[in-house]
Amino acid sequence: MKPLEEIRWKGLGVSEGIVVGRVLRMHDGTRYVYRARIDEADLEREVRRFRAAVRLGARQLQKIKKRAEIQLGKDHAYIFDAHLLLLEDAKLIRDVETHIVQERANAEWALKVVGDQLLSVYSEIKDDYLRERGSDIEDVIQRLLVALSGEQPAHRNLSQDAVIVSQDLLPSAVAELDLEFARAIATDAGGWTSHTAIIARGLGIPAVVGLRDFYRRAKTGDNIIVDATRNEVVLHPSRATREYYRGEAEKLRQRRRTEAVAESGPAHTIDGIEITLRANVELPTEFAGVTNYGATGIGLYRSEFLLTPRGGMITEDQQYAAYTDVARIAGEAGAVVRLFDLGSERTVERDEQKNPALGLRAIRFGLRHQEVMRAQMRAILRAAAEGSLDIVLPMVTDVEDVRRARAILQEEEAGLQKRAVAYGQVRVGAMIEIPAAVLTADKIARVVDFFELGTNDLVQYTLAVDRGNDEVADWFRTLHPAVLQGIEHSLRAAREAGIPAIVCGEMASTPAYAVLLIGFGATDLSMTPTSIPRVRHALSNVDSRTARAISLECLQCESAEEVETLVRERFRAEWPQVFSLRSLPASRKKG
């Protein structure tokens, strides 16, 4: 057989590393199904083939459920119970088998017809939330179609070096991902702050996203190289290419090992400025990283990951147990729990909101649905008796949001006291991530105990660019002068009010950006745990005065392009041994 031609594909490397592996395509919906006519004599065999697919699908779901319980928590795993029941539902099986026999259809076609009938009934349901449950039925049908296609045995063989290739990885698909086996991720959609990127960095596996139209070219089992350091993937690499990349991957591993020697505590710049390095965490799988990478506590705990993927609520006691865990992991330095950022993507009310990013979400959702916010506050207060915990309010727009949330917190404290339930003191901070909060930062600083700058949302809202929308990825410029001015302004407001400020967005995870943040006066950064060694290395080799000079120069720039060029040139000139060209922002043109 003639060797396949090597294809290189450019994307955006969002989680560092190099992996030589084999493609595992993840279906994300569309699957073409053809009609075949089955001979009378073969009908029985076709029915048996369908039953075998049901058994295979059930075994897969059992495994996924067990794994999800361990890796993501019981509450994320519940949905697979429903999927299992759906898969083995007597009505579904009977309908499909009847269709096979009566229409002499192949199992795929019968399944598709029956599935479409069910889904069409579902799509007419008036209740928004229930209508969306159609996606559960779709998931199960997809699983059966995959099982029928026989793609699964290949899956097993690949278990050691699977590179997940997909159009997009939705949060619910991530729950299904075989995290043990995934070695790297490559997707058509997505950007630096997409969910895929955050999860990949959390797991410490390489990811290249934004590959546009790559998915359909890759077949499960194909050789592939994912090189996030060069923002590319190579499909059908030759033996020589594979050898070369294996060598590169080994070099990178050794470099990382020397970086990851268990250094912990704060970093110090050359001129002796102390910088606290904290961890951002969401999934239990990331907890180990807090100590492994030497973080000083947890700067941001994204609590909404406690909720089920489809927005199901959990009890106060379950939350209490989770926050106690978080406090224990964080240790003396403590953890900041961000109140549920609900309403943006994973809740009941999603369908009703035309523009969820600007809708009833985060603190707004909490103030409207106070039973949810109160239960969460009680759980945090109670857990604070066991360890050090603080609360940060997401998406604050003004002091009024803070005052109302604080009043509720006080009421809950009083309630606990009255019932003689043990609780601890928590400080209350505001997420500064909306331009309105930036512009009134001096006022907000007077009513909170600390600031927390969420740079991802700050970029999105300042530039009015959806960070998940691939089409406008060129406009998502972290180094836009407007963003930098917002950061500088907020940090100054905190300094003047005498309150601490933690910068917790993805910006803090990138060494070059972290240096700019120090230049703006930040001394407290929170990031993906796996990024800590690299950021520590960079900060320990720069001096804050030079950083300050460069940061101030950036504020004078006219455009993101100009800032990027300035950063590239100045960093290379000042610290050539610390920043390779690859670690600096690339020059980009919009279009």
Partner 1 sequence: MVEKTLTVKGRLGLHARAAAKLVHVASSFRSKLLLQRVDGSAKADAKSILSVLMLAASRGTELRALAEGDDEQEAMKAMEQLFFSGFDELQEETSNR
d(CA 476, CA 465): 6
Smaller CB separation from partner 1, 315 or 425: 315
74 binding partner 1? (CB under 8 A): no
Nearest alpha-carbon partner for 452 in 487, 416, 405: 487
Smaller CB separation from partner 1, 25 or 350: 350
Element (H, E) at 87: helix 74-87
Selected binder of partner 1 within 229, 238, 285, 318 (CB under 8 A): 318
Contact (CB, 8 A) for 102 and 38? no
Stretch touching partner 1 by CB under 8 A, among 88-96, 103-111, 179-187, 417-425: 88-96
Selected binder of partner 1 within 10, 51, 101, 129 (CB under 8 A): 129
Stretch touching partner 1 by CB under 8 A, among 79-87, 158-166, 243-251, 298-306: 79-87
314 binding partner 1? (CB under 8 A): yes
Residue 367 token pair? 């103030």
Choosing from 83, 480, 504, 557, the catalytic residue is 504
Selected binder of partner 1 within 4, 36, 70, 121 (CB under 8 A): 121
Stretch touching partner 1 by CB under 8 A, among 133-141, 212-220, 439-447, 455-463: 133-141
The amino acid at 477: R
DSSP code of residue 104: T
Stretch touching partner 1 by CB under 8 A, among 81-89, 105-113, 329-337, 581-589: 81-89
119 binding partner 1? (CB under 8 A): no
Selected binder of partner 1 within 221, 312, 359, 481 (CB under 8 A): 312
317 binding partner 1? (CB under 8 A): yes
Q: How far is the CB of 370 from partner 1 (least distance, A)?
A: 13
Phi-psi region of 236 (alpha: psi -120 to 50; beta: other; left: phi over 0): left
d(CA 287, CA 73): 13
175 binding partner 1? (CB under 8 A): no
Smaller CB separation from partner 1, 120 or 264: 120
91 binding partner 1? (CB under 8 A): yes
Stretch touching partner 1 by CB under 8 A, among 73-81, 102-110, 323-331, 414-422: 73-81
Cα-to-chain-centroid distance, residue 66: 22
The amino acid at 223: N
Q: Is 466 exposed, middle or buried (0-12, 13-18, 19+ CB in 10 A)?
A: middle
Contact (CB, 8 A) for 349 and 343? yes
Tokens 């950036």 correspond to 554
3-state secondary structure of 357: helix
- Interface mask (CB under 8 A) for partner 1, residues 372-411, using x and -? ---x------------------------------------
Count of chain residues binding partner 1 (CB under 8 A):
32
125 binding partner 1? (CB under 8 A): yes
Q: How far is the CB of 47 from partner 1 (least distance, A)?
A: 19
Stretch touching partner 1 by CB under 8 A, among 292-300, 315-323, 478-486, 501-509: 315-323
Smaller CB separation from partner 1, 136 or 449: 136
81 binding partner 1? (CB under 8 A): yes
Smaller CB separation from partner 1, 82 or 549: 82
Smaller CB separation from partner 1, 318 or 485: 318
Contact (CB, 8 A) for 336 and 452? yes
Cα-to-chain-centroid distance, residue 334: 23
Residue 288 token pair? 């180990």
483 binding partner 1? (CB under 8 A): no
133 binding partner 1? (CB under 8 A): yes
Strands (E) in 335-405, as ranges, are 335-338, 389-393
Residue 184 backbone dihedrals phi, psi, to 5 degrees? -165, 165
Choosing from 27, 195, 268, 489, the catalytic residue is 195
Nearest alpha-carbon partner for 223 in 277, 165, 181, 271: 165
Tokens 């075994």 correspond to 59
Residue 185 token pair? 């991720």
Smaller CB separation from partner 1, 68 or 182: 68
Selected binder of partner 1 within 38, 54, 79, 267 (CB under 8 A): 79
118 binding partner 1? (CB under 8 A): yes
277 binding partner 1? (CB under 8 A): no
Is the C-alpha dihedral spanning 196, 197, 201, 205 positive or negative? positive
Contact (CB, 8 A) for 579 and 547? no
158 binding partner 1? (CB under 8 A): no
136 binding partner 1? (CB under 8 A): yes
Contact (CB, 8 A) for 426 and 410? no
Kindly give, in sequence order, each residue whose CB lies less than 8 Å from that of residue 333, ignoring residues fewer than 6 positions away: 276, 278, 296, 297, 298, 388
Q: Looking only at residues 412 through 471 of this chain, which bind partner 1 when binding is defined by CB under 8 A?
A: none
Helices (H), 228-361: 239-259, 287-292, 316-330
Smaller CB separation from partner 1, 127 or 558: 127
Smaller CB separation from partner 1, 314 or 494: 314
Residue 185 backbone dihedrals phi, psi, to 5 degrees? -130, 140
Nearest alpha-carbon partner for 529 in 262, 307, 269: 262
Smaller CB separation from partner 1, 172 or 565: 172
Is 195 catalytic? The answer is yes
Interstrand relation of 267-268 and 274-281 (parallel, antiparallel or unpaired): antiparallel
Q: Looking only at residues 337 through 376 of this chain, which bind partner 1 when binding is defined by CB under 8 A?
A: 348, 375
Is 504 catalytic? The answer is yes
Q: Please give the residue ranges that form the binding site for partner 1 (CB under 8 A).
A: 78-79, 81-82, 85-86, 89-92, 118, 121-122, 125-127, 129-130, 133, 136-137, 308, 310, 312-318, 348, 375
Q: Which residues are catalytic?
A: 195, 504
